Structure 1
């Protein structure tokens, strides 16, 4: 009976709500309706319909007891709501803060509540990778011909605008896929790499089908021709190579963080530029783009210093008149808009959850691969977020992926019968302790 119930609630092994959510996330904003001043895109409609049921499931503990990370995401949304009310008044602040909370907490809860087992995680990974690979049918011709097949086709059907003109890079048209910008398509695709490598291909180089899928994910990210997706890929590839080379060495992650610290201090001591300046210059396509991001950081951080508690809401930030209002730094824009407390809640959620999950011992090999896939994906996006803004689909994708690994906090592998016969304790793997 349990097996039948499980099959009826999944598609290709992934929970039905998540499959619907991922598909809705891939639709451009042309597939939306306007309700007053609020734009309801496809993924927003899914999250709005699911938000209250998910919230009640969370507080009831039916899908795992509440923990400190659930509270952190709610605290982040609550502080952002207060900041927006302070900026725009009660009615306007509730409208803006409400949809922000639905996107942020709703996307987190989608992954947190509906992925509760290793099998759920594998199902989601396979569907996610499959969706990225499916777009290649349209985006490879798009990159070669300049015809935005998916985006413009969907936009024409729903009466939306065509893809904006963006200059070619590296001799190819920058692929939009079904998204509103090549960066969105590229980061969505690049974020599937670790899942393709560690879960679908099971980290086995001789798994030719799985490795081909990982290669397809790389190709999808490549034809976006965007620096942000390339950074996501490079960061995942780097830590995956580190893990493969030093997988049996105890303390390899402490050694990696020590290496990062040494490199940072070396640049700071030996260069006439700050480590941030060097980082941005090497992870962007042009000096002009790098210079603009450096100015964004300087003027944005000054704005945070002036408004540290509640930020400036959705108001305009101080900058030279010739600078665009676009702020290509996700971490910075969070602090600018909602204040340092919201920023700290957000960073605490990400780093704390990864840390606690990383402390679990004696996990089965396949669970460790799943942990690597999840943590490396967040590492790649987290680094890239210092040079790009995560907006629309990227924003909800990021928080969904954070919630996607929460099952690793307290899920316990089934004990083999042979061990039970030897009177081994019911659980060989203890859930992680939360501070």
Structure 2
């Protein structure tokens, strides 16, 4: 991405791969605000260094998907490659879960240098698998994020498509190997909305009804529970009470930090918390607001929600385009919900922005019309059928 960032910016501005739109501007505004926050708290040198790589990872990943996936065929090829990589990791992660030997992580660390996988308590009788990632949560979210791509694009929603559904089952198995609550949330959210779409696919206003249902559930929990909806969500979607309690504390101390520094956050500084708490902040949205300020978070949410809404407004799309739209939107939905309990860092941060940009073609690309070939039937052609060939 360091190599491609400048050529991609040139291609975006020139309009060779789709015209620029407001969502591109929102992305660059988000990156610009993050850069300002880092300069404010760390000085020009640190701000340019840290902000520069943030722009490369954020804008570079987005532009990679935005510029090089410009058709349904491109999107299908990406989905096939993505799901294929997830299934390929099973060759290493199934033995890893059974033996506790972190084949990919420790093998890569031994080859290029770096620490071995840290010890993490097993769950459900299985060793939590790292795959090639820094943490089982990252591996799990990576796998779970391919569920909708496998179901809608490769299996084409057809339960009798045994090859495609086998890939869906492989994605579920790979996610299970991580033994992490966050990835399971990504998987469940995608499965839920996929089931909702399958049952109510012909009903107008089904998505408005779904979000109304979510809003009613939120209000009901807030009214009738002694805990906030966030507390209830964390308690029921994490494996251990200790993990849930830690995430609740993160939310409380993190939001207090945002209240103290709402505009530019705290940059790379330390956030105030008890000494016994880890510096890790398992909430991507909160971490963004704490580090770069509320404007950076709001710009990112405007990009995400606005792009999904705009793509959803397109009418009369071919069936394969509609399946691609569902796959893309449901994938982002799952990651968005899980990101309230998981921090997206390193490779997963890049993956999120790549997936965000990978659906931008649905906003302005025109469906290709299939060419129809007509062979004129002359009297001579009728007498000599071989001339048609």
SS at match of 1:250: coil
| Residue in 2 that maps onto 1:105 | 59
TM-score relative to the length of structure 1: 0.85
How many angstroms apart in 1 are the aligned matches of 2:257 and 2:352?
25
SS at match of 2:3: helix
Is 1:341 the counterpart of 2:295? The answer is yes
CA shift at 1:343, angstroms? 0.5
Match of 2:255 among 301, 312, 319: 301
SS at match of 1:169: coil
Is 1:77 the counterpart of 2:31? The answer is yes
| Residue in 2 that maps onto 1:127 | 81
SS at match of 2:342: coil
Summarize deviations over 1:182-228 as a string: whole Å, max 9, x none: 11111111100000000010110000010000100010010000111
| Residue in 2 that maps onto 1:396 | 350
CA shift at 1:153, angstroms? 1.3
Match of 1:173 among 102, 121, 127: 127
Match of 1:153 among 107, 126, 130: 107
How many angstroms apart in 2 are the aligned matches of 1:406 and 1:111?
8
| Residue in 1 that maps onto 2:382 | none
| Residue in 2 that maps onto 1:22 | none
Is 1:214 the counterpart of 2:168? The answer is yes
CA shift at 1:415, angstroms? 3.0
How many angstroms apart in 2 are the aligned matches of 1:417 and 1:90?
56
Summarize deviations over 1:129-151 as a string: whole Å, max 9, x none: 00000010111011001111111
How many angstroms apart in 2 are the aligned matches of 1:128 and 1:246?
28
How many angstroms apart in 2 are the aligned matches of 1:416 and 1:97?
46
- Between 283-292 and 409-418, report the one with greater CA deviation: 409-418
Is 1:356 the counterpart of 2:310? The answer is yes
Summarize deviations over 1:309-342 as a string: whole Å, max 9, x none: 1000010001111111111000001000001110
Aligned positions of 1:241-252 closer than 5 A? 241-252=195-206
How many angstroms apart in 2 are the aligned matches of 1:335 and 1:392?
18
How many angstroms apart in 2 are the aligned matches of 1:147 and 1:324?
26
| Residue in 2 that maps onto 1:32 | none
Matched pairs, number = 374
CA shift at 1:274, angstroms? 0.7
How many angstroms apart in 1 are the aligned matches of 2:86 and 2:243?
28
**Aligned-CA RMSD value:** 1.2
SS at match of 2:2: helix
CA shift at 1:414, angstroms? 2.1
How many angstroms apart in 2 are the aligned matches of 1:310 and 1:400?
25
How many angstroms apart in 2 are the aligned matches of 1:309 and 1:161?
36
In structure 2, list runs of 5 or more residues that go unmatched: 373-389
In structure 1, list runs of 5 or more residues that go unmatched: 1-46, 419-435
Summarize deviations over 1:91-123 as a string: whole Å, max 9, x none: 011100000010000000000000000000000
How many angstroms apart in 1 are the aligned matches of 2:331 and 2:15?
27
Aligned positions of 1:4-403 closer than 5 A? 47-403=1-357
CA shift at 1:416, angstroms? 4.5
Summarize deviations over 1:326-363 as a string: whole Å, max 9, x none: 11000001000001110011000000000000010011
SS at match of 2:196: helix
| Residue in 1 that maps onto 2:375 | none
How many angstroms apart in 2 are the aligned matches of 1:178 and 1:275?
34
CA shift at 1:277, angstroms? 0.6
How many angstroms apart in 2 are the aligned matches of 1:162 and 1:261?
44
TM-score relative to the length of structure 2: 0.95
CA shift at 1:417, angstroms? 5.2
| Greater relative contact order (CA < 8 Å, ≥ 6 in sequence) | 2
